Amino acid sequence: MKTPRLILLCLIFTTAQNAAAMGPNTLKGPMSFIEVLNEVLVMRPVGLVATIVGTTLFLATSPFTGIASAAEPHDAFRKAGDALVVGPAAFTFSRPFGVYGYNPKGVYPERRPD
């Protein structure tokens, strides 16, 4: 009986969003050493792997995407490419350090000193 309650509490605490994350569109102060390590050793390599896997999936499913593109509005290749290739590539190569989301418009918050 205690195990489901513990699992539920863990899920609640791990998925709860911090109010500061919903705050202004600026990043405060310089990045800490741990944040830089997280960015270089975890986030960028994971993004690179996601880009490679997404490109492979895009190529493997391109015949089916071509069939789906026969109907209006003929944008299945664009949607599949954006979701499987462009998104992970932009997350890996074009977002600034310390920003953990992908913005399709390429507008990211600025890092300001404290």
pLDDT digits 0-9 by tens, 11-20: 566 655 444 4
**pLDDT tens digits for range 86-107:** 999 999 998 888 887 777 777 7
CA–CA dist 81, 47 (Å, integer) = 16
Sign, CA torsion 48/50/56/62: negative
**Is the pTM of the predicted complex or chain greater than 0.75?**
no
Query: In 3D, which of 88, 104, 91, 100 has the Cα closest to residue 31?
Result: 100
pLDDT along the chain (114 residues), means of 10: 70 53 59 89 94 97 91 90 93 85 73 65
Helix (H, G, I), strand (E, B) or coil at 110: strand
Reply yes or no: is the peptide bond before residue 96 cis, omega within 30 of 0. Answer: no
